[in-house]
């Protein structure tokens, strides 16, 4: 415990220099701008910046990426409030109460509340992360191949289920397609090259970063260019710094949303958008009747819940990245990729191999959160102008960065091709309501699933009982099965039928 505080203090002290603070400030500001612009998401920002910071020192690069992540998830609230369009999917719940507040002439207040909520959410998430990462890390040391196999399946099923609430089948299909993508190239046990069709480039496998730059960058450019322009709400932006009483009144909502957001962040692949909606829904259910009526019409509590929830999700999503090498959200998946590129090996051994790194990440989150809070309350009026930049002027520059970024990692035009293919594929899949998060999670978890399945079967000599008898395996299998069964219509109808039969008959009035 004290060792952890000591390492956190040392990491924070190490960051208190002009260069680091400058990096934190510009990256967070860039994140806010990217988050603000509808179509440019946190995932795209982190993926693009991974390619741009590729040549930097590991510490600097990861700090910049975390700042971009925190900044963009917050930045999306700006367009949600002023345009009624979430800047990133994470801010969809923010529009529900943020935009009515702006229309009522309270845009400044709404921005201030969103900033404070995001800040407090990040802080709660950061504390949870500092507390639980070493704990989960030490538990994860006990995991064997059997558990990792189930973690991968569990991740795909849960992520597919939650990111495609209307049709989980498409979420699962996207996840399994992602797992297949990870099969391309040389496998890790016998060095056999799979699905490369004689291509030297394909035998090296599909790199995660160009694929993500395509799926989240190029695909979004195409989507954004479909429409002509957005209308910014005409409102006066006055005082943005909220009054203390406005915040303390809702302390229960803040704490609840912070914890819920962090927990949802830690679930594999389930990102900030779900965290915001769940926090918002819980706040609405537990609000006092007079407050509950305001939800959807400009409720401060609703806005706080959504923004606290989505930003708390950010540190939450980093917890499984560090302890299990499983991303909690799509931007965290890129962050995981970036850590691997920079020579950090996240996973159960992190507390043994890089114990100080975990606390460095906590300090990075604190630095980015503080930068976000300060920058979020400053330059509000001037940043509104960013929303007015015509998309035809911005998108070609973003595309040039997508191309150069994909190319710069391995200096191969093949990676640019990967970016294009995944961009077009991502666009088509999204048009047909397939979520992108399970696909990305599949690409990341594919190798882990493959190696652990084969390793487990070799250890048990083909006996599959350990997959269903080890305690953690039983729990993961049971949750996975329940999730799948709960989405099969005839199963739910059957359960409902049994429930009705078991219910005692009502006595006639």
Partner 1 sequence: MTEKSMARSDFYTGIALIAFGLAVTVMALQMPPVTERGQSPYSAPGLLPALLGGVIIVLSAVMFVRAVRKLRGEFTLSRGGVKNFFAETGTRRMSLTIFLCLAYVLSLGRIFFPLATFLFVFIFVLVFEYEKAVPVRAQKKKFALAALLAGITSAAVTGVFQYIFLVNLP
Interface residue list for partner 1 (CB under 8 A): 52, 54-55, 169-170, 172-173, 176-177, 179-180, 183, 187, 189-190, 192, 194-195, 218, 221-223, 225-228, 390, 392-393, 395-397, 399-401, 403-404, 407-408, 411, 413, 416-417, 420, 424, 431-433, 449-450, 453-455, 457-458, 461-462
For the four alpha carbons of 275, 278, 281 and 286, in that order, the dihedral sign comes to negative
The three-class DSSP label of residue 193 is strand
Which stretch of DSSP H or E encloses residue 26? helix 18-36
Whether the Cβ atoms of residue 107 and residue 81 lie closer than 8 Å to each other: yes
Q: 249-253: long-range contacts at Cβ-Cβ below 8 A with a sequence spacing of 24 or more?
A: 250/300, 250/301, 250/304, 252/286, 253/283, 253/286, 253/287, 253/301, 253/304, 253/305, 253/308
Which of residues 296 and 396 has its CB atom nearest to partner 1 in the complex?
Answer: 396
User: 194: which strand partners?
Assistant: 185
Nearer to partner 1, 227 or 468 (CB): 227
CB of 454 to partner 1, least distance (A): 5
User: CB of residue 171 vs partner 1: minimum separation in angstroms?
Assistant: 10
Please identify, using beta-carbon distances, which residue of 127 and 176 lies nearer to partner 1: 176
- What burial class does residue 18 get, using C-beta atoms within 10 Å of its C-beta: 0-12 exposed, 13-18 middle, 19+ buried? exposed
Burial of residue 286 (number of CB atoms within 10 Å: 0-12, 13-18, 19+): middle
Minimum distance of partner 1 from residue 176's CB (angstroms) = 5
CB of 361 to partner 1, least distance (A): 24
Closer residue to partner 1 in complex, CB, 424/472: 424
Q: Which is nearer to partner 1, 142 or 461 (CB)?
A: 461
Identify the helix (H) or strand (E) that includes residue 349. Answer: none
Sign of CA dihedral 174, 176, 177, 178: positive
* CB 144, min distance to partner 1, A: 15
Question: Nearer to partner 1 by C-beta: 224 or 292?
Answer: 224
CB of 396 to partner 1, least distance (A): 4
> Which residue number, 454 or 470, has a Cβ lying nearer to partner 1?
454
- Name the token pair of 53: 């910071």
Contacts of 452 (CB under 8 A, 6+ apart): 145, 146, 148, 149, 152
17 exposed, middle or buried (CB, 10 Å; 0-12, 13-18, 19+)? exposed
Please state the closest distance from residue 408 (CB atom) to partner 1, in A. Answer: 4
* Closer of 93 and 449 to partner 1 (Cβ): 449
**Helix 168-183 crosses helix 437-459 at what angle (to 10 degrees)?**
60
H/E stretch holding 345 reads: none
Shortest CB 395 distance to partner 1, Å: 7
């Amino acid at each position: 415990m004290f060792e952890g505080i000591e390492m956190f203090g040392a990491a924070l002290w190490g960051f208190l220099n002009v260069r680091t603070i400058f990096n934190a400030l510009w990256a967070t500001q860039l994140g806010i701008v990217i988050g603000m612009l509808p179509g440019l998401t946190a995932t795209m920002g982190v993926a693009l910046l991974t390619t741009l910071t590729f040549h930097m020192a590991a510490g600097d690069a990861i700090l910049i990426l975390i700042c971009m992540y925190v900044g963009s998830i917050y930045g999306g609230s700006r367009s949600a409030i002023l345009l009624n369009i979430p800047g990133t999917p994470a801010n969809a719940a923010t529009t529900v109460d943020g935009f009515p507040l702006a229309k009522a002439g309270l845009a400044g207040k709404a921005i201030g509340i969103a900033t404070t909520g995001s800040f407090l959410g990040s802080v709660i998430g950061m504390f949870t992360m500092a507390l639980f990462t070493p704990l989960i890390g030490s538990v994860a040391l006990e995991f064997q191949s059997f558990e990792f196999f189930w973690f991968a399946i569990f991740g795909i099923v849960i992520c597919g289920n939650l990111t495609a609430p209307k049709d989980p089948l498409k979420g699962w299909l996207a996840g399994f397609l992602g797992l297949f993508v990870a099969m391309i190239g040389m496998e890790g046990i016998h060095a056999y090259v799979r699905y490369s069709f004689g291509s030297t480039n394909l035998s090296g496998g599909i790199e995660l970063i160009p694929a993500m730059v395509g799926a989240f960058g190029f695909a979004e450019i195409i989507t954004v260019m479909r429409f002509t322009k957005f209308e910014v709400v005409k409102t006066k932006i006055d005082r943005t710094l909220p009054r203390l009483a406005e915040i303390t009144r809702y302390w229960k909502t803040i704490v609840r949303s912070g914890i819920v957001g962090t927990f949802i962040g830690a679930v594999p692949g389930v990102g900030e958008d779900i965290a915001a909606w769940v926090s918002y829904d819980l706040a609405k259910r537990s609000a006092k009747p007079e407050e509950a009526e305001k939800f959807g019409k400009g409720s401060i509590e609703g806005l706080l819940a959504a923004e606290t929830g989505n930003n708390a999700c950010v540190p939450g999503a980093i917890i499984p990245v560090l302890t299990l090498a499983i991303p909690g959200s799509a931007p965290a998946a890129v962050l995981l990729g970036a850590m691997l590129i920079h020579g950090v090996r996240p996973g159960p051994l992190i507390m043994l191999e890089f114990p100080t790194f975990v606390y460095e990440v906590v300090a990075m989150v604190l630095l980015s959160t503080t930068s976000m809070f300060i920058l979020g309350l400053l330059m509000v009026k001037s940043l509104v102008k960013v929303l007015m930049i015509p998309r035809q002027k911005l998108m070609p520059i973003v595309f040039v960065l997508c191309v150069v970024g994909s190319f710069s990692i391995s200096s191969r035009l093949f990676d640019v091709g990967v970016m294009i293919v995944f961009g077009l594929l991502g666009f088509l899949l999204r048009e047909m309501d397939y979520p992108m998060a399970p696909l990305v999670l599949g690409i990341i978890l594919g190798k882990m699933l493959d190696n652990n399945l084969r390793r487990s079967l070799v250890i048990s000599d083909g006996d599959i009982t350990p997959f269903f008898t080890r305690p953690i395996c039983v729990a993961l299998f049971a949750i996975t099965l329940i999730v799948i069964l709960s989405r099969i219509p005839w199963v739910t109808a059957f359960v409902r039928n049994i429930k009705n039969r078991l219910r005692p008959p009502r006595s006639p009035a």
